[in-house]
């Protein structure tokens, strides 16, 4: 599984909806709209624009008032501590981050590394996606070999000249390494 997180400040002059559509064309399972700095009306408009382009591949991060039963199966959570990973039992997936050093997660301390990822994957009852510094197919493959069900990426896709090619390479790396599970 490859999930792409959005960051319109990284996508340059290209519309975020275009980058998201290219990511889906490359094989992204989901695109998660973050853009938490936007006011609710602007974020809602952007969600509508993305939904028109990528349909049900869109997930929206931090939806206030959302209830698990109403949303169905695609509810995930970001985890930065072992206790959060162990407690995640009724979710579709969790992201664990930052696995590698990354500029987008400066407040979360040092990178967890593959050993911690391996331990947390073993302790988690739901699929784990590695996030943070997963900027190459090699790193994506290493995360899957450590036990992750896939990866979540942001910068590598948002800054790419060809987002579809980047996602395609990540998907290939994830699929090639799933046999290690």
User: What CATH code is carried by the domain that includes residue 170?
Assistant: 3.20.20.70
Q: Which residue has the higher pLDDT, 63 or 163?
A: 163
Q: Which whole number is the average pLDDT over 62-91?
A: 63
Nearest Cα neighbor of 154 from 8, 12, 7 is: 7
pLDDT band per the 50, 70, 90 thresholds, residue 65: very low
Is the pLDDT at 154 greater than 70, yes or no? yes
Q: What average pLDDT does the structure give for the chain?
A: 88
Total domains, the chain: 1
Is the pLDDT at 66 greater than 60, yes or no? no
Tens-digit pLDDT profile for residues 78-108: 776 787 877 777 778 899 999 999 877 666 6
- Number of other CB atoms surrounding residue 115 within 10 Å: 9
Position 75 scores a pLDDT of 66
**Ordered DSSP codes for 150-168:** EEEESHHHHT-S-HHHHHH
Beta bridge partners of 59: 32
Is the pLDDT at 46 greater than 60, yes or no? yes
């Amino acid at each position: 599984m490859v999930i792409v997180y959005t960051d319109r400040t990284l996508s340059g002059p290209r519309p975020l909806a275009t980058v998201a559509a290219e990511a889906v064309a490359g094989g992204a399972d989901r695109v998660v709209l973050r853009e938490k700095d936007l006011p609710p009306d602007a974020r809602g408009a952007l969600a509508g624009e993305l939904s028109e382009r990528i349909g049900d591949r869109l997930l929206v991060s931090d939806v206030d008032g959302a209830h698990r039963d109403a949303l169905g199966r695609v509810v995930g959570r970001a985890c930065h501590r072992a206790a959060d990973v162990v407690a995640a039992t009724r979710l579709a997936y969790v992201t664990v981050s930052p696995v590698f050093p990354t500029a987008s997660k400066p407040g979360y301390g040092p990178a967890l590394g593959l050993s911690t990822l391996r331990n947390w994957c073993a302790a988690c009852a739901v699929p784990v996606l590695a996030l943070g510094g997963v900027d190459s197919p090699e790193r994506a493959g290493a995360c899957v070999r450590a036990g992750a069900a896939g990866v979540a990426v942001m910068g590598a896709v948002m800054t790419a000249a060809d987002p579809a090619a980047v996602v395609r390479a990540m998907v290939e790396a994830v699929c090639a390494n799933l046999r290690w599970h």
